[in-house]
Structure 1
Amino acid sequence: MRPALILVVSALLVAGCGAGAGSSTNGRGEGTAADSGSASTASGAGDAAEPLLGGGEPVARVAKRVRPSVVQVNVEGAQQTPFGRQQSEGLGSGIVYREDGYIVTNDHVVADASQVNVTFSDGSTEQARVVGKDNFTDLAVLKVPRNDLPAARFVEEEPMAGQLAAAIGSPQGLESTVTSGVVSGLGREIPAELTGGRQEQALVDLTQTDAAISPGSSGGALADRDGRVIGVNVAYLPPTQTGAESIGFAIPASTVTSVADQLIRTGEAQAPYLGISTATLSPEVASQFDVQAESGALVGEVTGGSPADQAGLSQGDVITEIGGTPVEGSGNLLGALRDYQPGDRARLTVVSGGEERTVGITLGERPESASSPGQNG
């Protein structure tokens, strides 16, 4: 079972920039539509002034609402290759966040860019500057000199598994492409070593969808049937390498708005810090280490002098709740921490040696050296 698992997950890629002439890309492999009965694909710019279609065409209705807010992000930069440093071009997607020129995209789309240009649904193009980037969430904010942009509506509440989802972006440079499916799952995690990109830590608390996501889709919108953005597309499993059909991932809208607002205000995003490495507690791990808990985040290394160390957490403890929110694994823990700010006080429910206890902890601020998944906890 283990080799098969490695074969499947090791091909998970950041959706990345689509390749331009003479370019390189983070994502490779073709995405496919959801299933032939429910998935649809269309491309071309939408016209927000036209009346919306009726309820019998929910995906078309979503496309009309969201397309004007989705942009193509074209990047130029230099990359280190075996033949030296060479110029490269690439593209991704983005979403108009505010009408006064702010656009949200993925960090890995603009990470090494020396120049960024944004193409809007009406065909106009503007040069953009990078306002701020956050590698930990793989989000970035761009700014263009416009005050009349059609801002998307980001929804704060968590979507439900099974609800309609439409992905809109520029896969392989095909601007305003729409694919549809459903929300397949919530709270998913992609370990750092599996993203195929430049993330230094796990991407956590992701929304899974079977709407097709492909290279160039990164930074595009995942929207619900009301045309509200529920996530920013970030990664996918390429079926040509894994045999898995239509497994894509998006960063939840609540995370996007929190990080984007911080980047706009200060150019950087703060994250609360516990100072532990964690792993998801599985039944196999619980049995192997005789842990008296069914699920949770298993504490590994505890950094000396960190908030976790000062609160008395130790290796082998299992965190099962934070602030009353159940913790099913390390991804849930890191996702729940996004509701807090450095300096906040949190209450953890911890299982130690078969006994449950409550631990109060004052969250710190993530240090620059905290580049691993554990150190992000």
Structure 2
Amino acid sequence: MTDRHLSALAAALDEELPAAAALRRRIHARPCLSGAEAPTRDLVLAALPAGSTTKVAGTGAVVRIGGPGPAVAVRAELDALAVTEKTGAAWTSEHPGLMHACGHDVHLAALTALARAVDRTGGPAPLLAVLQPREETYPSGARAIVEDGILDREQCRSVIGAHVQPLLPAGTVACTPGGVNASSDEFTVTVHGRSGHAAYPHLTRDPVVTLAHLVVALQSLVSRGTDPMSHVVLSVTTLTAGTAANVLPATAQARGTLRALGTGDRDTLHTRLAEVCALVAQAHGCTAEVDLTRGEPVLDNDAALTAATRPLLGSLGLRIGDDLRSAGSDDFSFFCAQLPSLMLFVGTHGGTEQLHSPTFLPPDERIRDIAHAMLAGYLAAAELHT
């Protein structure tokens, strides 16, 4: 059954690619930030085949293609980034300061082509096209969709995602079991001291010097506090303090991110972060307040779904690359925590470009690769759950 559906759907999908490329360019030219994606959602909905449509997560939607029964969800993201585009494309962003710099325009076009092919040709299971908002920021759109219960109501059995990856050569797909993206948490540390004249530091409690020591101390949480074989990242990314050169301020603040591929490492870092901040601040006569925002969990690809998808990728002419794991994060992980799910990474540039760059612009040909990767995952999931 899978072979029959594979050849028919692949042929139908390829016929949809010119329209998908035109849709991609319209989406790219009109980027919308997280939480304001309704125009993008409506643009995609107009291109999708008629189906049972449910608005979800504020500016998202779920469209069922096919009849009743257990379904396979395929997800694409709606939101763009606050990046000023520098690609020089004829269809460059019409919204100053906003850009599809993460490939979401490609994902949406590919999902539309797949949905239209399934609608025309039929498939082994109903397809649930998930148009997800707020992948790039909190609160997570994937988490909102899971908590809404729509996947349960639609009898969803698996979720498939595919993401462009410029570190991989074009035509290559990483189909990796287990944890492939790290958990992602954000922290803000506020040091409270005593302000005063900069010429009389002995009469103050200097939060700036305290914060400087704190930043250095936090680096030891990874280098000396976790197993060297673990995949853990702690990065301090912003520092804020003071308004005048001759005044020591009352507070100083640092923000940053924590990434881990293991749940145990994640919990350990949370505990040790609070302890180190409190003790370093105390040593300098100050206090420290830590605000920790828990983000995405580890993105954990289902082993059986991964194994079933790999041969189908080869049948579609895609090369299976080496396993790819990174400290990057994606809220697709909330789907993985709910259902057997699979995120595929599809090559675009082979390391000559980066995601979130103002020059990131995969060619339209990559729509086919993403759509075929989605097709392989969809068929594998349908086969597993039949």
Same fold (TM over 0.5): no
Structure having the higher helix fraction is 2
Larger strand fraction of residues: 1
TM-score category of the 2 structures, normalised to the smaller one: under 0.3
Q: TM-score, normalised by structure 2?
A: 0.25
Of structures 1 and 2, the one with the larger relative CO (CA 8 A, separation 6+) is 2
